[in-house]
């Protein structure tokens, strides 16, 4: 049994999941969080059933709603996909507070108001210097530790995890339109304005979160305001954030140097297709915790997660080259068998489900291959305007 406390910087989902795992294994886990009081950003999230399988407790306090289907809309086509297992609509802030409670209940400690200022890396063990108040500091000795303080955090800068693409998310709470079933997520593809998509996620029978992903916070807010006006939706409250995208690269993933480990946003553990990072970040935190507790290689512990995120990065490269006409074709080819397969394999199981998905509609493979060739000929991040021009040719 390990008696030396293990340090985790950042009370994110990844950091708290790691501390929760370590504490349950009897390993002293200390989480250092800059905020005091702890006020994680309010955000409505939608996660797959994989989320529940990461937990050994009931997170009902943080669950807002469950959805059982998706309605996909392009410029000239639409399709509905029923889910075999419902997706979960989650209150992010409530869930993080719940994780803090579980960490403490398992025997871990969370220190709020500890802002990491510096890491002395010229010798091992490392020395972490935290500011804990006005003219007050705390020094922590660590042989190995986990950085889960986000992409712009001090640990990721020290570990040289820069170079990840960042995108901005913007959501608005709205009243649900009368034509939307309250257990269905509506998704719009519009390459004229976004390389991703717009969404409307029900969070109750009457309200939902409408949002999109864009290059910058200002662009995301502007585009969402225009979209809401076009849909006749009135914003009741705003939610904003930024996230990195896991890179499509043959090099090493940004996970630290073996002694300084990175998880969550700090490691870019975010799905490139949907910019969903809660489940991936928690999986990264748990893999890092296993590595810290057993002295194993983080690369080995996170192999399945990295493979999954690499598949998402590849699919994102394909979708970045899609035109509105490609999305019309994609939805037009969605037959009954394909709907059934898509409803069975959720977004956190893409690597395992990709084969059955393509077999359910082989013509998707040709559609994707053509887009991938287009994408590889030019920049990875194609502007919506460029895609529109290419689609018109």
CA 248 to chain centre: 16
Confidence at residue 392, expressed as pLDDT on a 0 to 100 scale = 35
Do residues 65 and 172 both lie within one domain?
yes
Residue 185: closest CA among 277, 87, 279: 87
Do residues 26 and 102 both lie within one domain?
yes
Confidence at residue 186, expressed as pLDDT on a 0 to 100 scale = 98
Whether 146 contacts 289, CB under 8 Å: yes
Do residues 220 and 236 both lie within one domain?
yes
Among residues 193, 227, 244, the one where a domain terminates is: 244
Give 188: exposed, middle or buried? Use CB within 10 Å, 0-12, 13-18, 19+. buried
Confidence at residue 386, expressed as pLDDT on a 0 to 100 scale = 44
Within a domain: 315 = no
Within a domain: 257 = yes
Number of helices (H), then strands (E), in the chain? 13, 16
Within a domain: 357 = yes
Confidence at residue 380, expressed as pLDDT on a 0 to 100 scale = 45
Put residue 169 in one of left, alpha, beta given phi > 0 → left and psi -120 to 50 → alpha. beta
CB atoms inside a 10 Å sphere around CB 269:
31
Number of domains in the chain: 3
Do residues 194 and 304 both lie within one domain?
no
Do residues 236 and 250 both lie within one domain?
no
Pairing of strands 44-47, 198-202: unpaired
Whether 56 contacts 17, CB under 8 Å: no
- SS3 for 181-199 is CCCEEEEECCCCCCCCCEE
Q: What is the CATH number of the domain that holds 102?
A: 3.50.50.60
Give 336: exposed, middle or buried? Use CB within 10 Å, 0-12, 13-18, 19+. exposed
Do residues 208 and 342 both lie within one domain?
no
Do residues 23 and 104 both lie within one domain?
yes
Do residues 15 and 154 both lie within one domain?
yes
Torsion angle of alpha carbons 138, 139, 143, 147, nearest 10°? 40
Do residues 151 and 286 both lie within one domain?
yes
Whether 357 contacts 345, CB under 8 Å: yes
Residues in the chain where the model's pLDDT stays below 50 = 1-2, 250, 380-381, 383, 385-393
Give the three-state DSSP class for 45: strand
Confidence at residue 389, expressed as pLDDT on a 0 to 100 scale = 40
Among residues 282, 310, 338, the one where a domain terminates is: 310
Query: pTM here?
Result: 0.91
Do residues 250 and 380 both lie within one domain?
no
> 132 to each of 30, 115, 292, how far by Cα in Å?
15, 7, 26
Among residues 190, 213, 244, the one where a domain terminates is: 244
Within a domain: 53 = yes
Within a domain: 69 = yes
Angle between helical axes of 363-377 and 350-360 (0-180°, round to 10): 120
φ and ψ at 278, to 5 degrees?
Answer: -70, -55
Do residues 178 and 306 both lie within one domain?
no
Within a domain: 272 = yes
Within a domain: 1 = no
pLDDT tens, 193-241?
999 999 999 999 999 999 999 999 999 999 999 999 999 999 999 999 9
CB atoms inside a 10 Å sphere around CB 295:
9
Within a domain: 316 = no
> 294 to each of 9, 27, 29, 52, 179, how far by Cα in Å?
19, 10, 14, 25, 53
Confidence at residue 379, expressed as pLDDT on a 0 to 100 scale = 53
Q: What is the CATH number of the domain that holds 218?
A: 3.30.9.10
Do residues 299 and 343 both lie within one domain?
no
> Domain range for residue 181?
44-91+165-244
């Amino acid at each position: 049994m390990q008696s030396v406390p293990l340090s985790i910087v950042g009370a994110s989902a990844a950091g708290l999941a790691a501390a929760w795992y370590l504490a349950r294994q009897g390993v002293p886990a200390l989480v250092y969080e800059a905020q005091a009081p702890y006020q994680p950003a309010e955000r409505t999230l939608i996660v797959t059933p994989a989320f529940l399988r990461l937990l050994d407790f009931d997170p009902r306090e943080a669950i807002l709603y469950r959805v059982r289907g998706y309605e996909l809309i392009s410029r000239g086509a639409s399709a509905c996909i029923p889910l075999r297992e419902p997706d979960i609509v989650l209150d992010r802030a409530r869930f993080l507070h719940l994780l803090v409670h579980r960490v403490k209940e398992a025997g871990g400690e969370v220190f709020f108001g500890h802002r990491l200022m510096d890491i002395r890396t010229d010798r091992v063990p490392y020395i972490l210097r935290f500011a804990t108040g006005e003219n007050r500091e705390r020094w922590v000795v660590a042989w190995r530790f986990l950085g889960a303080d986000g992409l712009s955090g001090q640990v990721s800068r020290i570990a040289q995890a820069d170079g990840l693409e960042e995108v901005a998310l913007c959501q608005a709470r709205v009243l649900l339109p009368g034509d939307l079933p309250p257990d269905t997520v509506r998704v719009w593809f519009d390459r004229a304005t976004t390389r991703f998509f717009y969404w409307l996620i029900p969070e109750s029978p009457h309200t939902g979160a409408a949002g999109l992903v864009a290059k910058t916070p200002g662009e995301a807010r502007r585009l969402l305001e225009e979209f809401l006006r076009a849909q006749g939706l009135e914003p009741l409250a705003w939610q904003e954030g930024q996230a990195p995208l896991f890179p499509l690269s043959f090099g090493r993933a940004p996970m630290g140097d073996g002694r300084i480990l990175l998880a969550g946003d700090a490691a870019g553990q975010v799905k490139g297709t949907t910019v969903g990072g809660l489940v991936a970040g928690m999986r990264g935190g748990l893999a890092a915790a296993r590595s810290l507790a057993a002295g194993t290689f983080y690369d080995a512990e996170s192999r399945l997660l990295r493979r999954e995120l690499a598949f998402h990065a590849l699919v994102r490269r394909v979708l970045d080259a899609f035109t509105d006409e490609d999305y019309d074709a994609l939805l037009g080819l969605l037959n009954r068998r394909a709907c059934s397969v898509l409803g069975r394999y959720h977004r956190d199981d893409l690597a395992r489900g990709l084969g059955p998905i393509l077999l359910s509609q082989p013509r998707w493979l040709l559609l994707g291959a053509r887009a991938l060739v287009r994408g590889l000929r030019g920049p990875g991040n194609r502007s919506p305007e460029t895609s529109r021009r290419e689609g018109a040719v």
